[in-house]
Amino acid sequence: MSGSRETSVQLRAQYRQEFGIPPHAPVLACIAFDAPFKALDILLTAFAKVVHNCPQAHLIHVGVDPECSSLPAQAANLGLSGKVHWAGIRDNGWQVLNAADIYVQSSRFAEGLPLSIMEAMALKLPVVATQVAGIPEAVTDSETGYLVEAGNPDYLAEAIQRLLNQPDKWKTMGEAGYLRYLQLFQAKNSVKSLVENYLLPSSN
């Protein structure tokens, strides 16, 4: 991940206007391409459960070409037309996250640590994600977001709903995630950690 990542009130308004989302509606976001291990089918199923309880919620997805994917049809079949917004594949897709309040990653099995989670943390978004691969190294459960078992839309929906019901925690969890991002992922800190742990001679 290169370049600065800063939240932008202007981009928040711009993207919400682009997708026709009301200024004060709660918005989830996800950046992922259409592959089975990303479990976007599970995300849509979970989001349908969320909308049942929170009809004002919206979901923006970045990274899928809606003309070449079956996911928009699944969303329509779940009654999510007008609730799921397909941003497509675009340069600087991370900027779209400015429109969101919560980031969601539904990965169903190991993929390392998704870059998109770091993008979300850099923009101070709380994260709801699955407990696979490197994700728990970044997302601290109940501190920077919520972690759930992979492959279960009920668990994912429950965690999303829990966070939607706690808007007072969005800022504190987002700030905690940003601090964790700075500690773990900024290049300077990564190099410092490498030097201290692997390159400097042991004092023992």
Q: Cβ(105)–Cβ(117) under 8 Å?
A: yes
Look at residue 111 and tell me whether its pLDDT is greater than 80.
Answer: no
Task: Using a pLDDT cut of 70, give the percent of the chain over it.
Answer: 88
- Distance from chain centroid for Cα 154: 18
Query: pTM score, two decimals?
Result: 0.90
> How is the chain split into domains, by residue range?
9-199
Q: Give the model confidence (pLDDT) of 34-46 as tens digits.
A: 999 999 999 999 9
Cα separations in angstroms, 135 against 38, 115, 117, 140: 13, 10, 8, 9
Which tokens go with 186? Answer: 């900024």
Span 99-116, average pLDDT: 89
Look at residue 117 and tell me whether its pLDDT is greater than 70.
Answer: yes
Is the model more confident about 188 or about 93? 93
Residue range 9-199, CATH number: 3.40.50.2000
